[in-house]
Amino acid sequence: MTAVLGISQWRDSMLEATDEVAQSSLMLDAVTVREAPSPLPRDLPGSYIPLVGEDYNYEFGLAAKWEHCEYLAKTLLFMDPGDEISDDDIADAMNELANMVGGGVKKRMAEIDTTLKLGLPAFFNGTVHPTAEQEHVCVIATAGEAEIYLIALKHKAPL
Amino acid sequence: MKILIVDDSKAMRMIVMRHLRQAGYEDAEFAEAANGIEALAAVAEHDPDLILCDWNMPEMDGHTFLVQLRSSGSQVPFGFVTSESTPDMQATARSAGALFLIAKPFTVETFRETLNSAGVS
């Protein structure tokens, strides 16, 4: 029960942090949120960043269809929709968005856990697949023209 | 004015430069580095008037870079631009010799106000 409550708190922090980044760095309206389907679609590239406490670690991810990753990257980089952008720049921009959201989550959760450390983001092609040993939450945040799957997962605590 | 931007994200270096230009530093010359090691070399090469640096970076993080920079005798104005901004980090940054810490996400006004308050012009 505690663990479930815990990951829900992280979910809320991630939503607040994403909304902050969307409005201030992407200059978009406030995000709207809905629950994600289960299982998740298979082809969702995204950037994941670890947030590590003393006795647990979370992975946070911002995943989206490739064309939505491209939209988010171009928006972050002040590019026009028709501009050319490399795959590297899309991954770099998605990593930076994950980094900012991760920092925002850490800031919000620091009142509860002061030991948290934020790692470095990595971009993956494909969808993360939580196993039965991992708790996870996933919601879809619509930011401008992009649907962003916000994913948090952690290993279940030992009994 | 020469400004060194240190961040492992090319996207973020570009965003910081754009914000600085809009904050009144349109005539600044910019140099870039992707981590602390590159930044130490860039300081020797460019002799910047201001350094804006990320905290979490591979190879050498921003805090280690700042400590080594101050150990070398350099007193160039230094500020962090980072996604983390806990009170502990603020204190650590200041004790190492940073003038300020700007938290991501930021705005043009954040840069303008912070740099003015820090006496950077």
In a domain, B55, yes or no: yes
Note whether residue B65 is domain-resident.
yes
B82:A103 CB<8 A: yes
Tokens 């029960």 belong to residue: A1
State residue A158's pLDDT score.
61
* Residue B51 belongs to some domain of the structure: yes
Q: Which domain holds residue B73?
A: 36-82+95-107
On the question of pLDDT at A2 being above 70, the answer is no
Q: Please tell me the predicted confidence (pLDDT) of residue A4.
A: 39
The ipTM (two decimal places) reads 0.82
CATH of the domain at B99: 3.40.50.2300
Write down the residue that tokens 């939503």 correspond to.
A15
| Residues in Cβ contact with B55 at an 8 Å cutoff, skipping those fewer than 6 apart | B61, B62, B63, B80, B82, B83, B84, B89
Set of chain B residues whose Cβ sits within 8 Å of the Cβ of A109? none
Instruction: Assess if residue B88 is contained within a domain.
Output: no
- For residue range A61-105, what is the model confidence (pLDDT) as tens digits? 999 999 999 999 999 999 999 999 999 999 999 999 999 999 999
Instruction: Please tell me the total count of domains within chain B.
Output: 1
Nearest to B11 among A93, A102, A107 (CB): A93
Q: Which residues of A touch B15 (CB under 8 A)?
A: 25, 76-77, 96
Name the residue among A78, A93, A107 with its Cβ closest to that of B18: A78
Option in B15, B58, B84 nearest A106 (CB): B84
Interface of B with A in 3-22 (CB under 8 A): 8-12, 14-15, 18
CB contact under 8 A, A106 and B86: yes
Kindly indicate the confidence band of residue A3, based on its pLDDT and cuts at 50, 70 and 90: very low
pLDDT at A98: 96
**CB of A87 within 8 Å of any CB in chain B?**
no
Return the pLDDT at A159: 57
| More confident call, A3 vs A34 | A34
Q: Please, are residues A94 and A73 in contact by the beta-carbon 8 Å criterion?
A: yes
**Closest alpha carbon to A45 in A62, A26, A21, A22:** A62
All structural domains of chain A, each given as residue ranges with its CATH number in brackets, are 2-155 (3.40.1550.10)
For residue B4, tell me if it sits in a domain.
no
Residue B102 belongs to a domain = yes
Tell me whether residue B62 is in a domain. yes
Residues B42-98 pLDDT 10s = 999 999 999 999 999 999 999 999 999 999 999 999 999 999 888 888 999 999 999
Q: Are B78 and B69 in contact (CB under 8 A)?
A: yes
